[in-house]
Structure 1
Amino acid sequence: MRVLIALGGNAMTGEDGSARVEDQIAAGKVAMEAVADLLEHDIDIVLTHGNGPQVGNLLVKNEVAAAVVPPVPLDWCGAQTQATLGFVLMEALDVATAARGLYRRSAALVTRCLVDADDPGFSRPSKPIGRYLSAEEAAMLIEHGEHWEDRGEKGWRRLVASPEPRAILDAPAVRALVDAGFVVIANGGGGIPVVRGADGLRGVEAVIDKDLGAALLARTVDADVLVIATDVPNAVLRFGTPDAEPLGRVTIARLRELAEEGHFASGSMGPKVDAACRFVEEGGQYAVITDLDSIVNAVTASEEEREGTIVVPN
């Protein structure tokens, strides 16, 4: 069995959301303990991860240093965080597997994701990233070509495009490494967004949704199961109300219907639900949305005993 595990951004920060170096290392160790538990079942694993807090840190550095050095573009931020988090996860996985007497090599791959140059998102940047700034601070970054918007009392916020992921360009390398026995960490943050032009490929200022990128990577590397690991054991209907209801086994059709009814927030659970549906619609056996503590059960338990939100064909 081949499984793709998508680690949410919370899996790479402290419990309070802090992204200090020591917090990220500690969080990586926790996540890789769960992955090592799954490796004991002799399963091929591909890992991907969010990078929002890490990119956020780089953007702060951009802002602070904008008057001294040019800001680093978003595609560079994606590449840097893929490499850094890949290193952190590899180190943590080596420790976790050694403690279990396992020998599984790991590899981190800086991964590009193709998007359309004419994607509507580029003409209407809508995804807010980074912190709020004053008008004066934002003006300096606007001079460097960034798109900022006045958000009233809170200040100015940067908006970027979030185009649809079309192809994982480095998927053949991922497949080759998995076939050779490696646990591969790839496509972090949804992949480095690139477009194809007359002169070849070039990176662009955009952010790809991590969960949609994970679903595309899972299909591209022929994964059987997609596990979207988050900080809750299930997707929840009527979240935050007295009538909240954890969602268990559900068909694509029913889950799509629930999404259209507005049960899943667009900035949190919505993309996870969409990604799970896309993966199964394209031929995956099933997808799971659950927390780290439940991923072994989600992959190895019988159909009747699986925990989490289990998305199955209609």
Structure 2
Amino acid sequence: MKIVLALGGNALLERGQPLTATNLRNNIKKAAASIAAIAREHDVVIVHGNGPQVGLLMEQNYEYQKINSAVTAYPLDVLGAETCGMIGYMLQQELFNSDNKLSITTILTQTCVDIDDPAFNDPTKFVGPIYSEEEIDKINIANPSAIFKKDGDYYRRVVSSPIPQDIVESKQISNLLENGNTVIACGGGGIPVFKANNGNLVGVECVIDKDLTAELLAEQIKADLFIILTDGAVYLNYGKENQQAIKNITPEELDKYHFPAGSMGPKIDAVCKFVSKGLGDAAIGALDELSAVIAGHSGTRITLDEMVEYY
């Protein structure tokens, strides 16, 4: 079975953890063990997030610029490429360490966006570490262009997140799968680019939602199953006394409910879009229960079968 896995950047760095290479490595090691177990039996593409990591690079850029003003901040497409190399390297190595019989390839992937997408006027994508209200007041004094929104009890920086239109290297990804590779691709939603009038690709200042890019990739490589790995199942009335974990649901039923734009919303949009096209099933579930998610025993399964089931 051909499976596209969307692995969140926050799954690679637990909420509140310091953004250190050691913490990133330890979390990736856990992720790699779960993924390697299913990569032995399936053709797998891993699309990882990069929100915390690209946010860290943005902060480091800003701090260095205060020391040397001649070194201007690197644009987000370049920072995205840096995180693809960093996270891809660790994932590739730890997958090999989990099973040295796997053939693993990381490919830098460019994702085309529409330069006129209205999302550029309404930043929603969380990046970087969490801050208290007092901390962002201090940051805004020093860097007034930074935009922050509430994420739970804290605040995080937000940047523009346009809809992905095309994955430049999707054919190369298919070729790698056909030749027995486990592939790490479209990291951070892909390096954002647009195609100029002369046909050249040009980097764009934004971060693309990795779940939406993973869905587009699942379409383009004709995946059988699209899985978004997060904290667990999808809940109705989450955090309330009457919350319910969904086991099975159709896109039409799921579309009746509202989910936050900065977190679960894009995940729901992505899985519903894939399933609605009749390409296969989708699922949202926990990384440490990946095998059970594939078997339909854990997480939330989105399917065209007209049934709604709760745990």
- Give 1:72's aligned amino acid: Y
- Give 1:137's aligned amino acid: A
* 2: CA distance, partners of 1:189 / 1:80: 10
CA 1:108–1:75: 2 relative to 1, 3 Å: same
Q: Do the aligned residues in 1 keep the contact of 2:9 with 2:53 (CA within 8 Å)?
A: no
Indicate the residue corresponding to 1:226 in structure 2.
Answer: 226
Deviation (angstroms), 1:126: 4.7
* 1: CA distance, partners of 2:7 / 2:148: 32
CA 1:197–1:108: 2 relative to 1, 3 Å: same
Matched, 1:28 2:28: yes
Deviation (angstroms), 1:125: 4.0
Q: Do the aligned residues in 2 keep the contact of 1:215 with 1:279 (CA within 8 Å)?
A: yes
Deviation (angstroms), 1:221: 1.2
Q: Do the aligned residues in 2 keep the contact of 1:32 with 1:93 (CA within 8 Å)?
A: yes
CA 1:306–1:192: 2 relative to 1, 3 Å: same
CA 1:291–1:70: 2 relative to 1, 3 Å: same
Indicate the residue corresponding to 1:307 in structure 2.
Answer: 298
**Paired residue secondary structure (2:11):** helix
Matched, 1:10 2:7: no
Deviation (angstroms), 1:10: 2.5
Deviation (angstroms), 1:168: 0.7
Matched, 1:268 2:263: yes
CA RMSD of aligned residues (A): 2.0
**Paired residue secondary structure (1:12):** coil
**Paired residue secondary structure (2:255):** helix
| Number of aligned residues | 289
**Paired residue secondary structure (1:248):** strand
Deviation (angstroms), 1:21: 0.3
Matched, 1:286 2:285: no
- Give 1:83's aligned amino acid: G
Q: Do the aligned residues in 2 keep the contact of 1:11 with 1:230 (CA within 8 Å)?
A: yes
- Give 1:185's aligned amino acid: I
**TM-score where L is the length of structure 2:** 0.87
Indicate the residue corresponding to 1:110 in structure 2.
Answer: 108
**TM-score where L is the length of structure 1:** 0.86
- Give 1:289's aligned amino acid: I
Indicate the residue corresponding to 1:178 in structure 2.
Answer: 177
Per-residue CA deviations over 1:79-125 (Å, capped at 9, x if unaligned) read 00011100000010001113xxxx11101111110011111122444
* 2: CA distance, partners of 1:282 / 1:192: 25
* 1: CA distance, partners of 2:167 / 2:125: 21
Indicate the residue corresponding to 1:119 in structure 2.
Answer: 117
- Give 1:211's aligned amino acid: D
Aligned ranges 1:134-173 → 2 under 5 Å: 134-138=139-143, 147-149=145-147, 160-173=159-172
**Paired residue secondary structure (1:9):** coil
- Give 2:284's aligned amino acid: I
Provide structure 1 residue ranges, at least 5 long, that are not aligned to the other structure: 140-146
* 2: CA distance, partners of 1:286 / 1:128: 28
- Give 2:33's aligned amino acid: E
Deviation (angstroms), 1:158: 5.9
* 1: CA distance, partners of 2:44 / 2:72: 38
Deviation (angstroms), 1:159: 5.0
Provide structure 2 residue ranges, at least 5 long, that are not aligned to the other structure: 150-154, 307-311
Matched, 1:66 2:68: no
Q: State, as a whole percentage, how many aligned pairs show the same letter.
A: 36
